[in-house]
Amino acid sequence: MIDEKLLDAAKKASENAYAPYSKFKVGAALKTKEGKIFSGCNVENASYGLTMCAERVTIFKAISEGYQDFSEMTLYVDSDILFTPCGACRQVIAEFSCEMKITIVSRKKTLETSIKELLPYGFSLDE
């Protein structure tokens, strides 16, 4: 079941994405266990290694505000293509919760999964 507040926050965040290279404007929304929502977007760079994905922007934003316990993340891209987080984002998500629910939404498809499914043998404090 999709959390509509998270989806709306992710969609709104995607509008602010800086994506002149990939053209994929990604938004992410993260819910803390207390119910607070943080959102962020991808920020690309001509030097691709300096690009920051929406997932990490959102998590780092929440961490910088003093939150570390997360329950759910929703990702949105205004595209027909359904994507999943990159390896770096998967590992950052796993750092804070191996059980976090992740919902990925494009214009045509939705995938409900977890970081444990996306990164089954990742490094974690939970192990």
Q: Which residues are catalytic?
A: 55
Residue 21 DSSP code = T
Residue 36: how many CA atoms within 13 Å on its side-chain side?
A: 14
Q: CA 51, 125, 74: angle at the middle one, nearest 5? A: 45
Phi/psi for 21 (5° steps) reads -95, -55
* Structure-block tokens of residue 31: 């819910």
Q: Mapping DSSP to helix (H, G, I), strand (E, B) and coil, where does residue 52 land?
A: strand
Residues facing residue 112 across a β-bridge: 103
